[in-house]
Amino acid sequence: QVQLVESGGGSVQAGGSLRLSCAASGVDVSWNCMAWFRQPPGKGREGVAALDNAGDTSYADSVKGRFTISIDKGKNTVYLQMNNLAPEDTAMYYCAAERYGGSWVSLYVDDYHYWGQGTQVTVSS
């Protein structure tokens, strides 16, 4: 059984930083493609960052240069370091994993099979 448990969300002021964590079980974060998505209030879910087993990454244009996705193989955990946060980054953030593994990255919701429950990030101006 696959479980993804996010943590690290909270409330920060604009310009601040947060690091989200996703503790995984039932998937290998160094093999399966892992990603972070977010869903702002009243909007759809959008891809933020993804990482494959070759170390390739993909980021949404809105977060390039500010967010970094990484893994800790020993802890089987995925991280999202978020710097220079802005009010438009306010959203529920979700960790996601696909089931097949391989060297590809995707920011499409439909490419992912497993989802965490989410962690809220609120950025005030």
Measured between alpha carbons, how far is 29 from 97 in angstroms, rounded to an integer?
8
Start-to-end CA span in the chain (Å)? 40
Look up residue 76 and give its two tokens.
């089987």
* pLDDT computed for residue 117 by the predictor: 97
Q: Return phi, psi of residue 89, to 5°.
A: -85, -5
The yes-or-no verdict on residue 102 having pLDDT over 80 is no
When pLDDT is cut at 50, 70 and 90, the band that residue 103 belongs to is confident
Q: What is the pLDDT of residues 38-81, one digit of tens each?
A: 999 999 999 999 999 999 999 999 999 999 999 999 999 999 99
Residue pair 43/90 in contact (Cβ under 8 Å)? The answer is no
Residue pair 37/59 in contact (Cβ under 8 Å)? The answer is no
* pLDDT computed for residue 113 by the predictor: 95
Specify the pairing of strand 119-124 against strand 10-13: parallel
Neighbours of 71 (CB within 10 A): 19
* pLDDT computed for residue 10 by the predictor: 98
When pLDDT is cut at 50, 70 and 90, the band that residue 101 belongs to is confident
99: region left, alpha or beta (phi > 0 left; psi from -120 to 50 alpha):
alpha
